[in-house]
Amino acid sequence: MMEKTFLEETTATLTAQRKELIDALAANNAAFRQLAGASGEIGDTVDEASGTVDRKMLETIGAKDMNRLQLIDSALARIRQGKYGLCMKCGKSIPEERLRALPHALLCIKCKSEDERRNR
């Protein structure tokens, strides 16, 4: 069982990270809308290519941020359910040092290493 103080600190950290991501997604969405609106203007081929690259980059950033947001929400849900800090694969405790470094970690180091080896 995790210490109450650690869980409170982790909840505060995850909540702050969640707010930052939501703010970043909102800013990216505004930038994306601005880029999409600018695409109707007359421009040369270089401007069009640059706009396409910018849109693709914003889409990629948005997808990564959305994934991270889901991981954070999942971690917060596990804290509420009393399941935080348990590996989703083997069920063993995830070391506190790992959770401090990556508060939304789903797997212990051993299971994560095995997953990465398998996915190579």
Sign of CA pseudo-dihedral 60, 63, 67, 70: positive
Closest by CA position to 105, among listed 81, 89, 120:
89
pLDDT tens digits, one per residue of 77-109:
999 999 999 999 999 999 999 999 999 999 999
What residues contact residue 110 under an 8 Å CB cut-off, 6+ apart?
90
- Which of the four pLDDT bands, split at 50, 70 and 90, describes residue 2? confident
Residue 100, SS3? helix
Host domain of residue 26: 1-84
Answer yes or no: do 44 and 68 share one domain.
yes
Of 41 and 106, the structure prediction assigns the larger pLDDT to: 106
Same domain, 63 and 96: no
User: What's the CA angle centered on 16, arms 13 and 20, to 5 degrees?
Assistant: 135
Task: State whether 61 and 76 are in the same domain.
Answer: yes
The residue among 91 and 51 whose pLDDT is bigger is 91
